[in-house]
Amino acid sequence: MVETNLILLGPPGAGKGTQAERLQADFALAHISTGDMLRAQVAQGTELGREAQKYMNAGELVPDEVILGMIGQRIGEQDAREGFLLDGFPRNTSQADALAATLADSGRRLTGVLLIDVPDEVLVRRLAGRRVCVKSGHVYHVEFDPPKREDVCDQDGSRLIQRDDDREETIRRRLEVYARQTAPLIDYYEGAGLLRRFDGQRNPNEVHDHIRATVATLRLEDEL
């Protein structure tokens, strides 16, 4: 079978992580989230984590060399050789160029780029109300997707926390950084004929249905 290599693109709070969890189960893809990888480094107290945390808490991008080192290694790992779903990477055109070069070097290519579109005013509300399981990383929302018991994960009973960068002033900065540095990737991938757009204002099940149908078609086209 041809490998399926996807990018989930969209502003902070668009629902990339929410959809990635579902798509990973549908298509057995390696879910590679640079944000989750960085937060794991922060939690472990590594030097990389301490360095990255300064940028993350300020809502800025972590320097490319840190990210590219992590990603280059990860997409070469066995599970990702069978197909991957990138979430939060690439975030600027130099990261996109580096990804293209890494894939070309190993004779691989992207299958599609899935853009989840959501306006800024909705994003602020989503991020401010987001809660995350400390153990599994499963994502909730106090209003749109609340857990059965307040601040307790339905899946494993662990504590739910608010991310350090989900404070309102940091959220605003993250949205500015997205508009300036990441949004140009929309034209970049549209020009390459890879972009597919999804209305992220629909409920998570509807967004998932649309993306899943598109990915299934992309896979079929690849196999023909």
Q: Is 174 a catalytic residue?
A: yes
Using CB under 6 A as the binding criterion, the count of chain residues that bind ligand AP5 stands at 36
Which 27-66 residues touch ligand AP5, going by CB under 6 A?
34-35, 38, 55-56, 59-62
CA dist 202 and 198 (Å) reads 9
CA dist 59 and 53 (Å) reads 10
Q: Is 16 a catalytic residue?
A: yes
What are the φ/ψ torsions at residue 107 (nearest 5 degrees)? 65, 25
* Closest residue to ligand AP5: CB criterion: 35
One residue of 9, 85, 133, 139 binding ligand AP5 per CB under 6 A: 139
13 contributes a contact to ligand AP5 by CB under 6 A: yes
Nearest residue (CB) to ligand AP5, 127 versus 194: 127
Residue from 6, 10, 1, 5 nearest 186 by CA: 10
Minimum Å distance from CB 206 to ligand AP5? 8
Contact 179, 117 (CB under 8 A): no
What are the φ/ψ torsions at residue 138 (nearest 5 degrees)? -60, 140
Which 96-125 residues touch ligand AP5, going by CB under 6 A?
none
CA dist 125 and 171 (Å) reads 10
Q: How many CB atoms lie within 10 A of CB 88?
A: 22
Contact positions toward ligand AP5, by CB under 6 A?
10, 12-18, 34-35, 38, 55-56, 59-62, 67, 88-89, 91, 95, 126-127, 130, 139-141, 144-145, 165, 174, 200, 203-204, 207
User: Among all residues, which ones are annotated catalytic?
Assistant: 16, 91, 130, 163, 174
